[in-house]
Amino acid sequence: MGIQLNPYLMSTDAKGQANFYVEALGGEILTLKTYGETPGTPEAIKDKVMHLAVKVAGSNMLMMSDTLEQTPVNTSISLALTYDNEEEAKEIYAKLGEGGEFKHPFEKQVWGEYYGDLVDKYGVTWMVTAP
C-alpha cells in the first residue's frame, strides 16, 4: 500500500516557519498556496497561507498552513529525527533550537545513543537522536 503519514502543522507564520526548517534541516518548499488565490477571499486573509508543503531533512514532508484563529500549542506530539552520526545530529539540534528552548541537552544517554530534545521558536517539539 502506498500510504504516507505527513505531519500537518498549524502556524501563525507558516511561510517563515517553513523557511526556518529549510535553513535548519535542508530542503525546499514544494507548494505554497495562499487564501488570496481563492475567489472572494476577504482582504484581511488574502496573504495567509492556506496550504504549504515543505520537504526537509532528506525526503521528509511537512505540511503547514496559517491559523485564522488562536490555537494552543500542543505539547503531546513531538517530531523525531534520527541521524546516522552524532556530529550531524548535534548540528541540527543546535540549529532547530535557535530562538527556542532546549529541554534536554544533546548528549550520550544510558541506552547508548545520543539524544536531545527542544521546543523550536514556533512551539514545535523535536527529538533528535543518533547512534
Domain range summary for the chain, segments of one domain joined by +: 8-66, 78-130
CATH classification code of 8-66: 3.30.720.100
**96-120, pLDDT tens digit by residue?**
999 999 999 999 999 999 999 999 9
CA distances (Å), 15 to each of 65, 118, 123, in order? Answer: 8, 21, 15
Task: For domain 78-130, give the fold.
Answer: 2,3-Dihydroxybiphenyl 1,2-Dioxygenase; domain 1 (3.10.180)
Whether 8-66 and 78-130 share one fold: the answer is no
Cβ pair 69, 53 in contact under 8 A = no
Is residue 24 predicted with pLDDT exceeding 80?
yes
> pTM (2 decimals)?
0.93
79 in helix, strand or coil?
strand
Q: What is the rounded distance in angstroms from the CA atom of residue 8 to the CA atom of residue 18? A: 12
Cβ pair 49, 104 in contact under 8 A = no
Q: What is the rounded distance in angstroms from the CA atom of residue 89 to the CA atom of residue 115? A: 9
14 in helix, strand or coil?
helix
Is residue 71 predicted with pLDDT exceeding 80?
no
CA distances (Å), 39 to each of 31, 35, 36, 85, 98, in order? Answer: 19, 9, 7, 49, 38
The residue written with cell numbers 541540527 in the block is 92
